[in-house]
Structure 1
Amino acid sequence: MKRFIAFALAGILVIGVQSPIRASAVQQQKNEIVTIQSTVPGEELVLSTRLLEKNFNELLDKKTEKQNQLSIRIAKLLAEHFGKNSKVQGGGSANYIIGPSESGDFFYTPASTAFVNHGHVGLYYSSNTIVESIFPTGVRSISANVKMVEKGAVVKSVSTTDAVKQNAANWVYTQIGQPYSLNFMNNRNTGHMGAKNCSKLIWSAYLLYGGLDLDVNKGFGVYPRDIRDAKQTTFIRQI
């Protein structure tokens, strides 16, 4: 099962790609797989990245439509697998209520899905209302007084003006109802509107309404830990 996830992550690199992938880009994405898949045995990571390299030339020759078809197939496989094996986002040992904070703040909680330790983030629209994107339903609002997180969760503030924070919070609220996106490996390069995962939601909000790039390493994918560790954020409290 872990090998399936490693292979699927390698394959999902092509999701959303609208032009041929450069070799250097593939190498960087391979490195990111290793970063987020720290729980997968090393030999299986090697197998997955070698599989990517083996098919690299073939991928370069594919037309955009064929790439998209492959991406959809991989996303469906992941969706089916996550549906059978996933815990509630922020779940597992999610025994703690995150509680209120100021508009524009966000929380990060440890979270895993199908062996992938990815974390999860959500933004405070108001002191008691959180907006987050969760699999499989997408962007929703939930009361901060009932939102459960795991031990080690943190609440952080973005170092900007109150106006920027409020504008970012207002924008994420307008995104409620948008579907969830499984394209987490290349989400810096997808549009701000439409389907998005939890970290893309917050990243887009502050990029659009504050010119802030809350991505600590500026890789192809913006992950929850990238938001948590962004230099433009400050610590408020920890669970």
Structure 2
Amino acid sequence: MKRFIAMALAGILVIGVQSPFRASAVQQHKDVMVTIQPNASVEEPVLSSRLHEKQTKEMVKQNQLSIEMTKLLAEHFGKSVKTQGGGSANYIIGPSDTGDFFYTPASTAFVNHGHVGLYYSSNTIVESIFPTGVRSISANVKMVEKGAVVKSVSTTEAVKQNAANWAYTQIGQPYSLNFMNNRRTGHLGAKNCSKLIWSAYFLHGGLDLDVNKGFGVYPRDIRDAKQTRFVRQI
């Protein structure tokens, strides 16, 4: 059953999701554009509708991913999910500078969703894991998978320190299974690993560490954000 769900999810991510909502929404958008801008050229509403179509397609994909990931974590695994984020973590991540973060491959039921954590200090990491929530752990014992990377955020030392300090204040907050639109949820309270880092830098540096600005912020979105630079790889 787990493998079936994983294969289905992989298919969704590769080919996308076709939805009658998308077509109807795009047509409605065209009609509205023409109505409110009767003198506009044909190209203008077409270009706008294409943007709307792209955003709608992204929403459908994010929604489906969120539904499947929530199902895998909450229903099939419950509290038996490994606190390292799943997968086979065999390497110690080790120290880095305050405000840096790591990304590690991490899998649940054959789905590689990844995991991120933030350095509060050179030897202390703050991360949100399922089902515990936000916690701190020593960088000298934190295990990651081969291929994990440590990255730095391109900003001032003060911003890094403030972001790290805020993340540390979130220790004890529960884990959130809302992967679908966590960009739009509150910064306080329950949060998953990527929302923790995204909120920290968004609130205390005005930085949007989300490479594609989709409805949900995922670990790879943090890893690939343009405001980050490579430090080292495991």
Instruction: Give the alignment's TM-score, normalised by structure 1.
Output: 0.72
1:75-86 equivalence runs, <5 A: 78-83=73-78, 86=81
Which of 62, 75, 99 matches 1:104? 99
**Cα deviations across residues 57-93 of structure 1 (Å, max 9, x unaligned)?**
xxxxxxxxxxxxxxxxx95884132327634424432
Unmatched segments (≥5 aa) in structure 1: 11-21, 38-47, 50-73
1:33 deviates by 6.2
State the alpha-carbon separation in 2 of the partners of residues 84 and 140 from structure 1: 16
**In the alignment, does 2:156 pair up with 1:161?**
yes
Report how many aligned residue pairs link the two structures: 192
Find out whether 1:218 has 2:196 as its counterpart.
no
- Matches of residues 46-125 of structure 1 in structure 2 within 5 Å? 78-83=73-78, 86-125=81-120
CA contact (8 A) 1:199 1:222 kept: yes
Q: Which protein shows a greater Rg? A: 2
Quote the Cα distance in structure 2 between the aligned partners of 1:108 and 1:90.
11
Cα separation, 1, equivalents of 2:61 and 2:178 = 17
After TM superposition, give the deviation of residue 26 of structure 1 in Å. 5.0
C-alpha RMSD of the superposition = 2.9
Query: Do structure 1's residue 208 and structure 2's residue 216 form an aligned pair?
Result: no
Deviation at 1:28, TM superposition (A): 1.7
Q: Does 1:142 align with 2:137?
A: yes
2:193 corresponds to: 198
Mapped contact 1:85–1:114 kept (Cα < 8 A): no
Partner of 1:130 in structure 2? 125
Query: In the alignment, is the contact (CA less than 8 A) between 2:118 and 2:126 conserved in 1?
Result: yes
- The answer on 1:29 being equivalent to 2:59 is yes
TM-score by length of 2: 0.73
Which of 178, 182, 204 is the matching residue for 2:177? Answer: 182
Does the CA contact (< 8 Å) of 1:188 and 1:200 recur in 2? yes
2:180 is paired with a residue whose SS is coil
Q: In 2, are the aligned partners of 1:82 and 1:113 still within 8 Å (CA)?
A: no
Does the aligned pair in 1 maintain the 2:175–2:190 contact within 8 Å?
Answer: yes
Structure 2 unaligned segments of length 5 or more: list them. 13-23, 26-52
Where 2:183 maps in the other structure, the secondary structure is helix
Distance 1:82 1:116 in 2: 13
Maintained 8 Å contact 1:86/1:114: no
Deviation at 1:113, TM superposition (A): 1.4
**Which moved further from structure 2: 217-226 or 25-34?**
25-34
Asked if 1 retains the 8 angstrom alpha-carbon contact of 2:86 and 2:108, the reply is no
